[in-house]
Structure 1
Amino acid sequence: MTDAARALPESIDATVDLLAEADYVSDRSMATVAYLSMKMGRPIFLEGEAGVGKTEISKVLSQTLGLPLVRLQCYEGLDTASAVYEWNYARQMLEIRLAEAAGETDREKLAKGIFTEEFLIRRPLMQALEGEPGRAPVLLIDELDRTDEPFEAYLLEVLSDFQITIPEIGTVKAAEPPIVVITSNRTREIHDALKRRCLYHWVGYPTAERELEILRRKAPGAPERLTREIVGFIQELRNADLFKLPGVAETIDWTRALTELDVVALDADTVNNTLGVILKYQDDIAKMQGSEASRIIQQVRAEAAAAAG
């Protein structure tokens, strides 16, 4: 991407509009945190269930602001070699052999010569700190709760001073701090020391009105009646005692799937046959199939009729 970056929004309302440009239907509290993060240069720490739009916010900011997106996908055992930098050992060995073949025998000189920036492999965190002049990227640290606590502790320097220390070279500091979005599905608690460096926001399930607007933007080809019935069904489903409640991502997938099947309104057979799109555990599917699905459909239609009347 070579286009110039767009100016950051100057108000919360401008942030709402910015997000809406990429069809991200934000509530005002989310837009407020995003605005303050960009204004204050502080990372956003987003917690919430899977599929509620935590990761999407970083993609939207990258798209609408015209900034590169650097993504660090976290996992158990993630270390600095995968997240920050590592030395290109194969190239270093080749350089040593070439120097020795040319008659170089000074070991200290050889060692200094191979620990320079040209032998450095930059991983996501270092890429984000170096950035481009005037175009600091959006850095997504996704699912931080999947990493180990030592790596979480390593991030403190990065998030406090936007710098990393490489023993052989020195300190690499960002000329312009990236916009940082950290997400967590809360499979474990993140330490307070890291949270203190961030602006916190819990991303919950959307209201029926907001979810309806999301579907109108993300699945515009769906019939209006079907869209309303899907939102009503999903909203009721989230009140059930399920192992994993459906997120917004599943709502969008289900709407698109039913549209592909040319469905114009929910019926028991269609719901029973497509529950695997919105529920990901067999026990949950078994609990909702049959009479329970029919009951929810009838309830949704009764509420729609009452609202229309």
Structure 2
Amino acid sequence: MPDQTPRPLPRSIDETLTLLTEGDYVADRALATVLYLSLTMQRPLFLEGEAGVGKTEIAKVLSTALGRRLIRLQCYEGLDVSSAVYEWNYAAQMIEIRMEEAAGSADRKTMERNVFSERHLIRRPVLEAISGEAGAAPVFLIDELDRTDEAFEAFLLEVLSDYQVTIPELGTVKAAEPPIVIITTNRTREIHDALKRRCLYHWVDYPDAARELEIVSRKVPDASARLSGEVVAYVQRLRQMDLFKVPGVAESIDWATALTELDRLALDPQTISDTLGVLLKYQDDIARLGEGESARLLEEVRSELATAD
């Protein structure tokens, strides 16, 4: 279980970069800069980019490195306040009412106070995130915001403005200290400018070959140096093709892991063909990368790596 003792926030961009590196997250200085500013200014960080480039991982690394609890709100179509903020435990409330009636307690105000008490409140991620103690505010990950509708987005705008939620039966809950908010989106739809203005923004792009090789080497240390190099070079080539969904960094890591499990020390056409389902997730893309195309790409990769050596 990770250490949940809160640690001080980084005091510089370099410390932020070190914090990410120690968490096995290979970041460039631009990301470290905007993350440092987000932490210092207590502003949400809005991360946009393709699926699988490592946006969600940033929140996980922050949580571990800073010793803060990670609270994740996984967004989806139809997400509403009862699922995101709070709801009442209706079954427990009904039992409370029956017990009050059986005991002969007919005082309406007392019954309401007992029924709508903290012990019957089910806290969802938003309420949990603003209930943290000062000095130990959690990392609040709002993941894939673009999957929700505009109504929930508008509600979230209000929450991020004041970091408070009003529960009619109990009153207003206000954060003692704003949580560290990380918002991610895969850009399947545009997020309203009003919400973006509340945040600092960063586009998380696919890494270049050198940075991706460092990522794969860190995440799959058992992979041979040759295999890691060929995997990264091959994936970099695939991203230049007109595929329905090019592989992200997550797929590169999965592929290197799978090949290591198969005791492969290097790529070969048959192994590529057998394991493409780890790398590509659409049949049209797999079909396009037939045996002939796979072999051609592999030859290009080997030629490129040989020239580099």
TM-score (norm: length of structure 2): 0.96
Superposed CA offset, 1:198-255 (max 9, x none): 1111111000010010011001111111111111110010000000000000000000
The CA deviation at 1:170 is: 1.8
In structure 2, how many angstroms separate the alpha carbons of the residues matched to 1:195 and 1:145? Answer: 12
Superposed CA offset, 1:23-59 (max 9, x none): 0000111111111110000111111111110100000
1:96 to 1:269, Cα distance in 2 relative to 1, 3 A: same
The CA deviation at 1:116 is: 2.7
In structure 1, how many angstroms separate the alpha carbons of the residues matched to 2:237 and 2:195? Answer: 36
Identity %: 66
Letter of the 1:171 counterpart: T
Question: How many positions carry a matched residue from both structures?
Answer: 308
Q: Give the corresponding residue for 1:62.
A: 63
- Is 2:147–2:188's contact at 8 Å kept on the other side of the alignment? yes
- Is 2:3–2:64's contact at 8 Å kept on the other side of the alignment? no
In structure 2, how many angstroms separate the alpha carbons of the residues matched to 1:243 and 1:58? Answer: 28
- Is 2:46–2:184's contact at 8 Å kept on the other side of the alignment? yes
- Aligned to 2:16, the other structure's residue is in SS state helix
The CA deviation at 1:105 is: 2.5
1:117 to 1:27, Cα distance in 2 relative to 1, 3 A: same
Letter of the 1:195 counterpart: K
Letter of the 2:98 counterpart: R
**1:4 matches 2:1:** no
1:15 to 1:2, Cα distance in 2 relative to 1, 3 A: closer
Gaps of 5+ in 2: none
Q: Give the corresponding residue for 2:247.
A: 246
In structure 2, how many angstroms separate the alpha carbons of the residues matched to 1:3 and 1:116? Answer: 29
Q: Give the corresponding residue for 2:229.
A: 228
In structure 2, how many angstroms separate the alpha carbons of the residues matched to 1:154 and 1:126? Answer: 13
Letter of the 2:278 counterpart: V
1:276 to 1:84, Cα distance in 2 relative to 1, 3 A: same
Equivalent residues in 2 for 1:144-159 (5 A)? 144-159=145-160
- Is 2:209–2:232's contact at 8 Å kept on the other side of the alignment? yes
- Is 2:133–2:176's contact at 8 Å kept on the other side of the alignment? no
- Is 2:42–2:180's contact at 8 Å kept on the other side of the alignment? yes
- Is 2:130–2:175's contact at 8 Å kept on the other side of the alignment? yes
Letter of the 2:78 counterpart: G
The CA deviation at 1:133 is: 4.3
In structure 2, how many angstroms separate the alpha carbons of the residues matched to 1:4 and 1:243? Answer: 44
- Aligned to 2:27, the other structure's residue is in SS state coil
Q: Give the corresponding residue for 1:122.
A: 123
Equivalent residues in 2 for 1:78-117 (5 A)? 78-117=79-118
TM-score (norm: length of structure 1): 0.96
The CA deviation at 1:109 is: 4.0
Root mean square deviation, CA, Å = 1.3
- Is 2:44–2:200's contact at 8 Å kept on the other side of the alignment? yes
Q: Give the corresponding residue for 1:15.
A: 16
- Aligned to 1:172, the other structure's residue is in SS state strand
In structure 2, how many angstroms separate the alpha carbons of the residues matched to 1:109 and 1:14? Answer: 54
1:145 to 1:3, Cα distance in 2 relative to 1, 3 A: closer
In structure 1, how many angstroms separate the alpha carbons of the residues matched to 2:4 and 2:277? Answer: 42
Equivalent residues in 2 for 1:261-280 (5 A)? 261-280=262-281
In structure 1, how many angstroms separate the alpha carbons of the residues matched to 2:7 and 2:217? Answer: 27
Gaps of 5+ in 1: none
**1:307 matches 2:308:** yes
The CA deviation at 1:185 is: 1.0
Q: Give the corresponding residue for 2:51.
A: 50
Letter of the 2:122 counterpart: I
Q: Runs (4+) of structure 1 moved beyond 6 Å? A: none
In structure 2, how many angstroms separate the alpha carbons of the residues matched to 1:2 and 1:256? Answer: 27
In structure 2, how many angstroms separate the alpha carbons of the residues matched to 1:204 and 1:28? Answer: 13
The CA deviation at 1:17 is: 0.5
Q: Give the corresponding residue for 1:77.
A: 78
Superposed CA offset, 1:58-96 (max 9, x none): 000000111110111111111111111111212222222
- Aligned to 2:130, the other structure's residue is in SS state helix
In structure 1, how many angstroms separate the alpha carbons of the residues matched to 2:3 and 2:260? Answer: 37
Superposed CA offset, 1:152-182 (max 9, x none): 1111121111111112222110001110111
In structure 1, how many angstroms separate the alpha carbons of the residues matched to 2:73 and 2:65? Answer: 20
In structure 2, how many angstroms separate the alpha carbons of the residues matched to 1:225 and 1:256? Answer: 14
Q: 80-89 or 116-125: which moved more?
A: 116-125
In structure 1, how many angstroms separate the alpha carbons of the residues matched to 2:98 and 2:186? Answer: 48
- Aligned to 1:130, the other structure's residue is in SS state coil
The CA deviation at 1:131 is: 1.4
In structure 2, how many angstroms separate the alpha carbons of the residues matched to 1:257 and 1:73? Answer: 27
- Aligned to 1:140, the other structure's residue is in SS state strand
